[in-house]
Amino acid sequence: MQFMFYLLALVALLSAAMVVFSRSPISSVIHLVVCFLAIAGHYILLNAQFLAVVQIIVYTGAIMVLFLFVIMLLNLNTTNEPHKSMLTKVSALIAGGLLFLVLLASFRGANDIVAAHPYDAKIGLVKSLGMVLFREYLLPFEISSVLFISAMVGAVLLGKRDTVKKS
C-alpha cells in the first residue's frame, strides 16, 4: 500500500519532469498520459473509484487524444523549437524551486491535518457521489452544461476559417 503510493508518486513526478524537458511535443504528450495514469492510480489508492475512471476516460482518453490530434494535424512535431535565453531558463528554474521551498516551509508549520472523522468507505463510489452531485450540487451541475455549450460554440467559432475579407 505505502510502497504503491511511493512508486506511483515517483512515476508521476518523473513523467511530469519529462513533459517539461523532452524535446518533441509527441513525447511530451505521451509522458503526460503516463503522469495522468499514475494520478488515476492515486485515486484508486484513495478509494475514489469514480474519479479514477473519469480521469482515465476524460483525461487520458479525450483530452490527450485532442492534443495528439492537434499536434499531428498541424504538423507541430518539430524538435528544433526556439528556446528561451539561458537567463530566462535559469530564472525559471530558480522561481519554480523557490516556490516549492516556500510551499514546503508553509506546510511544515501546519497543524496535524488528519481529522478525527470515522472513515467512510463509500464516499468514492458512484452511488454516493451521484447522490451528492444531484442533490446538493444540482445547480452547479446544470451551470457546467451551459459552460460546455459556450465552450463548444467558442471552439467552433475560433476554429472556423475567416470568410469575410479583412478590409
**Near another protein in 85-144, by CB under 8 A:** 88-89, 91-93, 95-97, 99-100, 103-104, 107, 113-115, 117-121, 123-124, 128-129, 132-133, 136-137, 140, 144
H helices present in 56-161, as ranges: 64-73, 86-108, 126-135, 138-159
**60: contact with another protein by CB under 8 A:** no
Q: Which CB atom, from 113 or from 164, has the smaller least distance to another protein?
A: 113
Say how far apart CA 60 and CA 57 lie, in whole Å. Answer: 6
Q: Whole-number minimum distance, CB 118 to another protein, in Å?
A: 7
* Interaction residues for another protein, span 27-46 (CB under 8 A): 28-29, 32, 35-36, 39, 42-43, 45-46
Cα–Cα distance for residue pair 150/156, rounded to 1 Å: 10
3-state DSSP call for residue 160?
coil
* Cα–Cα distance measured from residue 121 to residue 139, given in angstroms and rounded to the nearest whole number: 27
Helix, coil or strand: residue 124: coil
- Site for another protein (CB under 8 A): how many residues? 83
63 C-beta neighbours (distance < 10 Å), count? 13
Binding pattern to another protein, positions 10-29, x when CB under 8 A? --xx--xx-xx----x--xx
State yes or no: residue 65 binds another protein (CB under 8 A): no
- Give the nearer residue to another protein in terms of CB position, either 104 or 164: 104
Q: Closer to another protein at the Cβ: 118 or 167?
A: 118
* Nearest C-alpha neighbor of 20 from the set 91, 92, 74: 92
Place of cell 470568410: 163
Q: Is 155 in the site for another protein (CB under 8 A)?
A: yes
Contact with another protein (CB under 8 A) among 86, 159, 164, 165: 159
